[in-house]
Amino acid sequence: MTEKLLSKPPFRYLHDIFTATLETTGYGNGLFEGAELDGKSISEKDAKIAWLQKLISLTELVVGEQFECKPTKIVSGAEPELTNIFLQ
């Protein structure tokens, strides 16, 4: 995790973090299937937003609290501080 990537986390970086976590721990197993597991195949803005919403909803359910980050803001690179709170 470099400062450059964390200062404005790109979608692909977030996707890679999730898939590595999934492979290691099983977190989110079954939530994403097929092309959703390949970060290269998700190129449309709406698909990225939908993917992020699923991940945020899962994490909110597991953690038991709401996150302030919004998928639309994450995709546009806005509010990176909220994205980093979500990553923690």
Question: Domain extents for the chain?
Answer: 3-87
* Intervals of the chain under pLDDT 50: none
The Cα 19–Cα 78 span in angstroms is: 23
Neighbours of 74 (CB within 10 A): 25
Each residue's pLDDT tens digit, 6-26: 788 999 999 999 999 999 999
**Taking the domain 3-87, which CATH number applies?**
1.10.418.50
Place of tokens 């976590």: 21
Q: What is the pLDDT of residue 14?
A: 95
